Amino acid sequence: MVAQLLREFVAGPWLDELDLDAMERMNAKFHAETTDRRDGDMIWRIPRRGGGDTYLVLLLEFQSTPDHWMALRALVYAGLLWQHLVKEQRLPADGRLPPVLPVVVYNGDRRWAAPVTLHALIGLPESSPLWRWQPDMRYHMIDEGAFGEADLERRDALPALLFRLESSPDPAQVVALADAVLAWFVRYPGFAGLRSVFAELLGGMIGPLASEVRVPEELLEVRNMLASRAENWKQQWLQEGRQEGRQEGEAILLMRLLERRFGALPDWAKKRIATADSVALEEWGLRVLDAGSLGDVLA
């Protein structure tokens, strides 16, 4: 699956120099004294067809906002990896450090806007005499949300299906997406070991909507459960959406009436109205004509 990630979302002619079918994950336990190692950060050794190895440093950013200091973190990881290889005497015959490829996979809602180079983080103009002594590091960014649904759909790879699952599809899409996952495993039976992973991912969509239901572990059973419940969830979400829409409309109308009666509303009043339920909004609306002050309305 990591090899597919590189082929689909890193790509480039130079990738042909790497024997991705022979790559192996390293169980490197090193970490900086000030930087905790996370389970999501992985290192892979990839043989080069011309001899030697390239090391993939894969950093999984499963958080809501970008990490401004990612380029610095990539540099720290690369330095720690090289130190580890030197200490373990795993350098190539020429004694030089092997190349490192840092790749960041990010699934947050906000698009990634952090600098992808370390030079961009250093407060020094390139014209400075000190510039040539500053370290540099660049990482490759895979921002899942930057790929459109049509783009991901045309990519015949598991990472693309994973990105589509993580985009929180609505009930109208989730069954078709489950069918796409099943069809992929039928076309590529050699990946059967990952079926349980995607069964768990799809099952994770059931839990928040039906916490009392036992989610099956087999991929086909999960798909069938999604299909049997999708229409009910769709109706439930539509009903909740209509309720939220009515409530929002009531809040906007109340604020307009209050502004017409008492002038510009303070922040505390706006906040209270925005977080109120329909019962409170209706009650306050009835008080607008007779109340002597804003406080009397929202009491």
Q: Which residue has the higher pLDDT, 260 or 74?
A: 74
pLDDT surpasses 90 at 75:
yes
Closest CA to 37 of 77, 3, 87: 77
**Residue 187: Cβ-neighbour burial (10 angstroms; 0-12, 13-18, 19+):** exposed
pLDDT surpasses 80 at 37:
no
* Residues 225, 228, 231, 232, CA torsion sign: negative
Q: How far apart are CA 189 and CA 266, in angstroms?
A: 62
pLDDT surpasses 60 at 49:
yes
* Residues 205, 207, 208, 213, CA torsion sign: positive
Residue 103 banded pLDDT, cuts 50, 70, 90: very high
pLDDT surpasses 70 at 252:
yes
pLDDT surpasses 80 at 22:
yes
Q: Say what the pLDDT of residue 157 is.
A: 93
pLDDT surpasses 70 at 139:
yes
Residue 96 banded pLDDT, cuts 50, 70, 90: very high
pLDDT surpasses 70 at 231:
no
Please state the length of the chain.
299
pLDDT surpasses 80 at 89:
yes
Q: How far apart are CA 123 and CA 151, in angstroms?
A: 38
**What angle (nearest 5°) sits at the alpha carbon of residue 167, between those of residues 165 and 172?**
75
pLDDT surpasses 80 at 265:
yes
Q: Output 40-43 pairs: Cβ under 8 A, ≥24 positions apart.
A: 41/77, 42/2, 43/81
Span of 92-96, 126-130, 178-182, 276-280 with lowest mean pLDDT: 276-280
Beta bridge partners of 43: 26, 57
Which letter, b or e, does each residue of 108-129 get, where b requires 16 or more Cβ atoms within 10 Å of its Cβ? beeebebbbebeebbeeeeeee
The arithmetic mean of pLDDT across residues 244-271, rounded, is 82
Q: Say what the pLDDT of residue 53 is.
A: 95
Q: Which residue has the tokens 């069964």?
A: 199
Residue 289 banded pLDDT, cuts 50, 70, 90: confident
Q: Say what the pLDDT of residue 38 is.
A: 54
Cα–Cα separations (whole angstroms), residue 200 to 197, 219, 254, 293:
5, 8, 45, 55
Check if the beta carbon of residue 55 is closer than 8 Å to that of residue 46: yes
Q: How many CB atoms lie within 10 A of CB 81?
A: 20
CA R_g for the chain: 27
Closest CA to 47 of 80, 14, 17: 17
H or E element at residue 106: strand 100-106
Q: How far apart are CA 216 and CA 207, in angstroms?
A: 11
The arithmetic mean of pLDDT across residues 142-161, rounded, is 92
Q: Say what the pLDDT of residue 230 is.
A: 61
The arithmetic mean of pLDDT across residues 8-28, rounded, is 91
Question: What average pLDDT does the chain have?
Answer: 84
The arithmetic mean of pLDDT across residues 198-218, rounded, is 68
Q: How far apart are CA 80 and CA 161, in angstroms?
A: 33
The arithmetic mean of pLDDT across residues 164-183, rounded, is 79
Tell me the one-letter amino acid at 291.
A
Q: Say what the pLDDT of residue 253 is.
A: 82
Where in the chain are the domains?
2-148
